[in-house]
């Protein structure tokens, strides 16, 4: 973040959690940023599902394709578990894991992403 502070830019879109947990960096942010928006933590697995479904709609691989067509319910639950425990609330890591699991599912010619593929994707990173 200190490097970003020195750049002539008008907007910082995101910072890592460590910047707001580190008191010195948090003070620096407070002096530089006019507005800080904290993204609230997800509380339930279906919220991860809604985000994944929104990404599916944005890319629209097939019209009408839904979350359940791509992810087994237990896979979404497992992604949420990793979000809370392993990734400490970092959504970016959840999306990266889902992407890797999708690539593995395609490579293995699987119909849907399973919890086992999610765990395999986690171990890949």
pLDDT digits (tens, 9 = 90+) for 32-68: 777 777 778 999 999 999 999 999 888 876 777 889 9
Rounded-to-integer distance, Cα 5 and Cα 74, Å: 42
- In CATH, 45-124 is 1.10.8: yes
Over residues 68-113, the pLDDT tens digits come to: 999 999 999 999 999 999 998 989 899 999 999 999 999 999 999 9
Q: What tokens does 15 get? A: 């910072």
Residue 22 pLDDT class (50, 70, 90 cuts): confident
Which pTM does this prediction carry? Answer: 0.78
Rounded-to-integer distance, Cα 94 and Cα 103, Å: 14
Vertex 83 angle, CA 78 and 85, to 5°: 90
Map out the domains of the chain as residue ranges: 2-32, 45-124
Rounded-to-integer distance, Cα 32 and Cα 123, Å: 37
Other beta carbons less than 10 A from residue 38's beta carbon: 6
């Amino acid at each position: 973040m200190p490097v970003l502070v020195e750049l002539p830019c008008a907007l910082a879109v995101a910072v890592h959690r460590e910047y707001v947990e580190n008191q010195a960096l948090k003070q620096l942010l407070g002096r530089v940023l006019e507005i800080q928006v904290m993204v609230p933590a997800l509380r339930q697995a279906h919220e991860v599902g809604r985000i994944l479904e929104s990404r599916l709609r944005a890319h629209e691989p097939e019209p009408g394709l839904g979350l359940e067509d791509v992810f087994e319910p237990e896979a979404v639950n497992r992604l949420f578990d990793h979000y809370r425990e392993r990734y400490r609330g970092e959504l970016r890591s959840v999306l990266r894991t889902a992407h890797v699991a999708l690539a593995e599912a395609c490579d293995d010619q699987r119909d849907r992403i399973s919890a086992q593929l999610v765990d395999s994707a986690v171990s890949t990173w």
